[in-house]
Amino acid sequence: MYIKDFEIRWNDIDANRHLANKAYIEFAAHTRMSFLVEQGFDQRLLAKFNVGPVVFYEHIYYFKEVFYGRPVRVSLEVSGLSEDGKFFEFRHNFYDYKGRNFAQCEMMGAWMNLETRKLIALPEEMHQFLNTIERPKDFKVLTKEDTRKFAKVPVDLM
């Protein structure tokens, strides 16, 4: 499991003086990108293949408030991956300075060709890396159907 440490900054606090919703998303995204960059998934590699990640959803479950003045830790696990590497799912747990779990985030996304703006299977060089990452016990091989499990569709204004 990968873990990233954060200091709660003044701008991470909301009107209720606890960690703001946006900060959870930002900490999770920064943890993902730190992990990927440390493994060689940096801007150079993304540019080489002209790909970028796209987020389908991020669901956050809040268990307990956390306040300014103490560090927090955010974990990352790859909880799902499609056979071709196109779709991915990450799980983050948020821990206070005593190691108590105060929130969890589940996110799903895919890889997109930045020229065609279409979803693509991950290039083999990148896919090999994701296949070597330690997987949690509840790891799932993702399919396109998994990306539609919430059955949300756009509804335009008339």
Element (H, E) at 126: helix 124-132
**pLDDT, position 26:** 97
What value does the mean pLDDT take over residues 129-147? 90
Residues whose CB falls within 8 Å of the CB of residue 49, separated by 6 or more in sequence, listed in order? 123, 125, 126
What pLDDT sits at residue 62? 98
Give the strand pairing for 87-95 and 101-113.
Answer: antiparallel
pLDDT digits (tens, 9 = 90+) for 44-67: 989 999 999 999 999 999 999 999
Residue 126 pLDDT > 90: no
**Which residue from 103, 81, 108 is spatially nearest to 92, judged by alpha carbons?**
103
Query: pTM for the whole thing?
Result: 0.91
Confidence check: pLDDT of 115 > 90: yes
CA triplet 82, 1, 114: central angle to 5 degrees? Answer: 40
Please give the share of the chain, as a percent, with pLDDT higher than 90.
80
**Rounded Cα–Cα distance for residues 109 and 27 (Å):** 17
Per-residue pLDDT tens over the stretch 11-54: 999 999 999 999 999 999 999 999 989 888 888 989 999 999 99
CB–CB of 108/87 below 8 Å?
A: yes
Quick one: which of 89, 74, 75 has its CA closest to 130? 89
